[in-house]
């Protein structure tokens, strides 16, 4: 048999095996066996072997990289029982529970009392208080047994407006409600959610006519014109 005939036979054998490899590529054990068969074949020409190795290397290079699964764990500094007590509460988003918890931990003693009493009224008892947002917070301050200190005084629409860096957890804020027609509103400041944009977590009461308890909501408090702080 001359050299050209031998090379032709080698190429035919390679094409046949490659065709089988193409149709059986979904079976890993078949791929491994076929690869060993090709390597052991005495008819396989060196050039064909080089082509096969190059093709296999390219297939590895094109295969998508396997990424490690992302961890779903996150650091939650809230006491477990505190979180569990309110995770299903309809008037606070579970994402805000940690902010509420931390506020009660860092607040001054008088402010802490107000925050705790207001939380019990809103989340534990879901109370409906006769009157408006003012009446609700007035009841919270009275039940907490604290005095009130006006630390900033301005006027609705005209100001002046407080430097928001001075606001502390437990402060009773009067502010322009930019989320609802720029009306005047008051609420209990809990903590910052987006400090750069003055987005704060506020305990807000819509009034008895809404027939729903106070809610922990996000407000822009950029234009806060009156601040009352609990004191002992």
CATH number, residue 85: 3.90.1720
pLDDT reading at 88 higher than 50: yes
Residue 108 is part of which domain span? 80-231
Task: Let me know if residue 86 belongs to a domain.
Answer: yes
Mean per-residue pLDDT, 78-95: 93
CA distance to 29, 152, 153, per residue, from 160 (Å): 78, 9, 8
- Predicted confidence at residue 55, as pLDDT, reads 53
Mean per-residue pLDDT, 10-22: 43
Q: Are residues 84 and 50 in the same domain?
A: no
Task: Tell me the chain's radius of gyration from C-alpha atoms.
Answer: 35
> 30-44, 142-156, 158-172, 218-232: which has the minimum mean pLDDT?
30-44
- Model confidence, pTM: 0.67
pLDDT reading at 166 higher than 50: yes
Task: Let me know if residue 68 belongs to a domain.
Answer: no
Q: Whole-angstrom Cα distance, residue 21 to residue 27?
A: 10
Q: Are residues 124 and 189 in the same domain?
A: yes
Task: Let me know if residue 150 belongs to a domain.
Answer: yes
Q: Are residues 54 and 137 in the same domain?
A: no
- Residues in contact with 153: Cβ distance below 8 Å, sequence separation at least 6, in sequence order: 225, 226
Residue 192, phi then psi, degrees to nearest 5: -85, 140
Give the confidence band of 79 by pLDDT, cuts at 50, 70, 90: confident
Task: Let me know if residue 70 belongs to a domain.
Answer: no
Query: How many domains are there within the chain?
Result: 2
Q: Are residues 58 and 88 in the same domain?
A: no
Q: Are residues 35 and 146 in the same domain?
A: no
Residue 153, phi then psi, degrees to nearest 5: -135, 120
pLDDT reading at 206 higher than 50: yes
Give the closest residue to 96 by CA, choosing from 228, 23, 175, 191.
191
- Predicted confidence at residue 6, as pLDDT, reads 40
């Amino acid at each position: 048999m001359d050299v050209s005939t031998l090379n032709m036979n080698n190429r035919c054998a390679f094409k046949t095996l490659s065709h089988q490899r193409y149709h059986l590529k979904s079976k890993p054990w078949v791929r491994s066996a076929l690869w060993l068969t090709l390597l052991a074949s005495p008819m396989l020409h060196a050039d064909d072997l080089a082509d096969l190795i190059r093709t296999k290397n390219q297939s590895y290079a094109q295969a998508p990289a396997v990424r490690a699964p992302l961890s779903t764990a996150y650091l939650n500094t809230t006491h477990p029982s505190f979180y569990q007590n309110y995770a299903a509460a309809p008037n606070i988003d579970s994402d805000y529970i940690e902010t509420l918890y931390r506020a009660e931990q860092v607040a001054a003693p008088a402010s802490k009392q107000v925050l705790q009493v207001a939380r019990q009224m809103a989340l534990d008892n879901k109370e409906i208080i006769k009157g408006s947002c003012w009446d609700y917070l007035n009841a919270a301050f009275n039940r907490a047994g604290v005095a009130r200190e006006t630390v900033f005084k301005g006027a609705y629409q005209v100001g002046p407006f407080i430097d928001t860096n001075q606001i502390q957890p437990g402060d009773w804020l009067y502010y322009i409600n930019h989320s609802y027609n720029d009306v005047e509103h008051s609420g209990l400041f809990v903590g910052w959610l987006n400090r750069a944009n003055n987005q704060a977590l506020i305990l807000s009461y819509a009034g008895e006519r809404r027939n729903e308890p106070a809610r922990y909501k996000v407000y822009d408090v950029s234009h806060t014109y009156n601040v009352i702080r609990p004191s002992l």
